Amino acid sequence: MCYNSKSEETKLYDFIIANNIAEEGELDLVTHVAGWSVETLESVIYARTGYRDVEQCLCSNEGYEDVYGDFEEEEEDDEE
């Protein structure tokens, strides 16, 4: 997983917006009411998609895009 200066919450927020799961105003309202946290943002993902987290979205065949390249697990090379 790549790490950069953006928080996990910001990455989730951007993922939700970029994939049209919710609009910015909706997310702003929800996070003001329920708090700025991974749990809150994952709840939005679940409410809108039925998936529990970003990884489930990305594993689906519904075309969700990992805008930062941080959520997809890197494949390990098998060394024999």
Please indicate, yes or no, if residue 29 is contained in any of the structural domains.
yes
Would you call 12 exposed, middle or buried from its count of C-beta atoms within 10 A (0-12, 13-18, 19+)? Answer: buried
Mean pLDDT for the chain overall: 86
Please indicate, yes or no, if residue 78 is contained in any of the structural domains.
no
What is the domain extent for residue 41? 8-59
pTM equals: 0.78
Please indicate, yes or no, if residue 1 is contained in any of the structural domains.
no
Task: Look at residue 80 and tell me whether its pLDDT is greater than 70.
Answer: no
Task: Please name the residue ranges forming H helices in 1-80.
Answer: 8-18, 24-34, 38-49, 54-59
Mean predicted confidence (pLDDT) in 1-11: 74
Q: What is the total count of domains within the chain?
A: 1
Write out pLDDT tens, residues 38-57.
999 999 999 999 999 999 99
Please indicate, yes or no, if residue 33 is contained in any of the structural domains.
yes
